[in-house]
Each structure stands twice: as structure tokens, then as C-alpha cells.
Structure 1
């Protein structure tokens, strides 16, 4: 029998390490056991680059996979955006239930998760995470997931945008960065600033704060077709959107596969250096 998410597991929590140095912790947040997340995540120099359950959005959990609408169920947390009503408190939250961590090493592991709501498994996820040191100032988090519809009927993934809230196409891989005195800067190969990169596709995207930078890279052609969800002024966060403009159908037995590599850097590299980090991440 599967344990509930908040129960102690013999193989969770977990850590990721680069050359013996712990750079990320993984598990369920105390008091927020709906989904596992990475937190804290740090640079090699020890600077924290994630935030967990911040006051502005208690359902933002470090680095995770979160979808606000899976066949009408909320796997993001917080209120559900209802067309014609706006954000609404509903009893429709699902959980990502830990099933197993079949492969593990100091620098990575795989995990099996059941996405369950109302006592039914809607999706089965195979998740793979690994950490690789790439220089004295950088390391890469390789995060891939396969979401398979294990039911007998087609379901679809949605977002507040697909339910009537323009510009709010979040859902999928999401990284909540720390809120600092000044908002972080954000840029891609072709644009700079939240308004120039949000809701657009780009091979890579960089978010820079006080002495740290995250270079997000779509590591597959399909992942690169997903627009980026970006916030810097209200709060610092970056996601890769599965359903930015229209619902994503998942037929019975079919899978959604995505892979994001994030280069975690001490310092604030320029656009040329960030582009090099991105090229090298995909080429490895």
C-alpha cells in the first residue's frame, strides 16, 4: 500500500551533490505535502537560489513540477482560477504521491510518482534528476519528467490562461527564486526584461540576482516549443509552460515528456557567457 505524501519514507528525503558538496535537498515541505520539491538549492559557493512557501505565495515550493489544472483538479496549490469568477477556493487539490525511488546515486536519482485526486490516479510520473559540476563556478541540474495518462480516457492539462486569465499560462516545471531587495534581471538571446521574455519561446533564459544566475535551457526540441512563464517584478520565478495558450490533451496511455537543464552559476555572466552555458548544457 502506498503511503500518504507526508509520511516518512525510507528513501526520502534525498540530496544532490557535486564532487561531494551538497547543492540541493529534495522531499516534501513540512505542512505542504502535495508535491515534492528541491529546496534549498545553492550555488557551489553556497548562495541559496530557491525559496519555499514564501509569504506572497505559500504554494510556491522551490523547484517542482506543478500544474494548476489536470482534468479540473489543482496540482499547483492555492486558489483555482474559474472562468467568469476568478481565483476561487475549491476542494479540488490533487497530490503527487511518492511511489518509489528505484535508482539513486550521490549526484542523482529517479522517482515514480502517482498524481492522484479524489482517490483516482490521473497520471503516473517518471522523474529523473541529476547534478553535474561544470566549472569552479557552475553546476547543472538536469530535470526531466514523463507524465503518462494511466486512465482509460483522454484528459487534458490547463492553466489559468486557458481558463480565461490572459498571461497566466503557468504550469509544468517551475522554479521559485529568492525575493531580494531588488528584482532580478532576466534575459534571453533575443530579449531583456520580463515583458520581452514572458510568454515567448527561447532556447534559453537567464535570471540573475545578487551574485547568482540561473540559466534555464530547454533540453529537447519539444521542450523548447513551450513558452517561458516569467515573473520578476511581483516575485522572482521562471517556468516552462505546458498549456500557455490552449489545453494540452493527453490521450489514454500517452505521455508528456519534458526536460529542463538549469545551469546554477556564482556571479552574473553576460549574455554571451550565458549562451555558452546553454550550448554546452545541451551538447553534453
Structure 2
């Protein structure tokens, strides 16, 4: 992995002169991982890394990225493809998200246009992505991630997932954060509830990962625009979170149309309790959004 990241082109996100994340905008990874820009490492203000990229259990998990298992038949998630009646099988259908042009490239705000290219070289989607690092308080900062997708084909384009193809609970696809657990114990919280079994598939307005142990941290994922996408949550074999674009039904984009989403993730030092987490959610909601790029 180190060699892959060394060969990639990156841009730091900084707050007050401190690098809080590296944005790998031109990655150098195998085609079977569905190459795409991603954030890694993402760090707390104390410098603790809270992301993993290309972990041995799922090489196609790339820190924080926008990944879709099936868009117009192309795999933009990486790894195997789920086929109804056959399960997950290796297919030569991997796409790539390719940087097209920058709209903004500053210390704390990045915005660019990307093209989602299928395995045959055809452009399926145009994406406009904006990523901003926002201060919260002396223990936390927030990653403001928004994107819009536009179908470039002349026909309706279907965005799907294994969950939409019959694999219960596997509706992943969209913004996805692979968290670094290490030697810590991670618990998953929502408003008034806790545990994967209660939050996986829920439409809670926020969801938090609380890591206890050495160099503890807390991540709070906030549905900033009230989109209501179900949460895909894993906390057993690995730790990962993301709101799902096509949880149990495919999403169809008409020509020239497509989904728009925004999620804010608070990155905090310490294993924060429910009251502190709710305070961070309120602080982010009350703070002004960064100016549009």
C-alpha cells in the first residue's frame, strides 16, 4: 500500500496550518479496486489516524471515498460483483473515477469535476465534488463532503447494490468511511440507541463511532441535508459507515439527472459520551456552512 500511495498525487487539507487529511485525487491502485479519489489518512487534531486504505481484509476499501457497487453495470466499488443467484463473483467490469478539472484548490476547501468511466472507456457519470475542512472546537474538526452526479448517457442509468439485488442488509454504496480500529474497542451510537443491529439500515439523523483504548477517538456522521438514506454499518470484522444510495431498491437517474448528497463527519479526539456527541451535532448545525466553490 505504501508504494501505491507514494506514486499517487495528493493534496493536503489543513486547518490553522495543521494537516488533518490527505486527499488522494489521482490514485495509483490496481484496476480491480475501482480507482477513485479518496481521503487517507484522515487525522484527529492530536494526529491520530482514523482511516484505513487497502486493508488486507478488503483491499478495495480506500479510506473515505465515494464508491458504488453498480452504476450502469460498472463496478465503482472494487472487488467482486454481486450477481443475483450466483453471489459475489470476479468480473472484468471495474470502472474508474477520473479527475477532470479543479474548481477550487485551497488549504481547507477542494472542489473538482470527475468523470466516471466504465470498463469500455465510455463516460457514464459526471460528478461535481466539494470537500471542506471546518473547525469545530479545540478537540474536533468537521469534514464537509458533498457531491452531485449527472447521468451522461442517453438512457436512464441504474445505480444499484447487492441489497437491491436480493442480498439482505448489503445495500452499501455512496459515501463510505473505512475506520481504523487498531487495538481499540469501537461502539456505535445513534440518537437514543446503540449497537449495529439497531442502527444498520436505520435512517437516524446522525450516527457515531466511539473508539476506546489507546489514543481514543470519536467520529460523528451527520445527515446534514436530511436526505434520510439508510445507514450501512459494520462493526465486527471491520469498522465502516456510509449512507446508502440504493439500500433495497435501485436508484434510476434520467439522462442529465442524478443524486445530490451532503454528509458532515466530525472527527474528535477522545471517546465521547452521548451528551458530548449531541453537543457536537448541535454545534455543526449552528455553524455557517463554507461558501460555495
User: Do they superpose with TM above 0.5?
Assistant: yes
Q: Does the 8 Å contact 1:204/1:275 carry over to 2?
A: no
Q: Which moved more, 1:84-93 or 1:274-283?
A: 274-283
Shift of 1:151: 1.5
Partner of 1:268: 271
**Runs of 5+ unmatched residues, structure 2:** 288-293
- Paired with 1:68 and 1:282, the residues of 2 have a C-alpha distance of 31
Within 2, Cα distance between the matches of 1:283 and 1:127? 23
Residue 137 of structure 2 corresponds to 135
Please name the residue that 1:233 is paired with.
236
Q: Give the total of aligned pairs.
A: 274
Select 1:119's aligned residue among 118, 121, 128: 121
Rounded to whole Å, the distance in 1 between the matches of 2:251 and 2:192 is 27
On the 8 A contact 2:146/2:263 being kept in 1, the answer is yes
- Aligned match of 2:205 in 178, 187, 203? 203
Report if aligned partners of 1:19, 1:133 keep a CA contact under 8 Å in 2: no
Instruction: Encode CA deviations 1:220-259: one digit per residue, 9 max, x unaligned.
Output: 022xx10110000110000110000100111111121000
* Cross-structure match for 2:290: none
Which structure 1 residue ranges, 5 or more long, are not aligned? 1-5
**For 2:285 and 2:251, how far apart are their aligned partners in 1?**
25
Q: CA deviation at 1:29?
A: 4.2
Aligned partner of 2:11 in structure 1 is: 14
Q: CA deviation at 1:182?
A: 4.4
1:213 partnered with 2:218: yes
Q: Does the 8 A contact of 1:183 with 1:233 survive in 2?
A: no
CA root-mean-square deviation? 1.5
Tell me the alpha carbon deviations over residues 31-89 of structure 1, each in whole angstroms, 9 at most, x when there is no partner: 24610100000000000000000000000000000000101110000000000000000
Q: What TM-score, normalized to structure 1?
A: 0.93
- Report the CA distance between 1:183 and its aligned residue: 4.0
For 1:80-95, list aligned pairs within 5 A.
Answer: 80-95=81-96
Q: Equivalent residue for 1:24?
A: 21
Moved more, 54-63 or 206-215: 206-215
Shift of 1:109: 1.0
Report if aligned partners of 1:183, 1:236 keep a CA contact under 8 Å in 2: no
3-state SS, counterpart of residue 14 of structure 1:
strand
Separation of aligned partners in 1, 2:142 and 2:110: 14
CA-to-partner distance for each residue in 1:123-143, whole Å, 9 max, x for gaps? 100000010121110000000
Q: CA deviation at 1:201?
A: 0.5
| CA 1:134–1:32: 2 relative to 1, 3 Å | farther
Aligned counterparts of 2:115 and 2:261: Cα–Cα separation in 1: 17
CA distance in 2, matches of 1:95, 1:144: 19
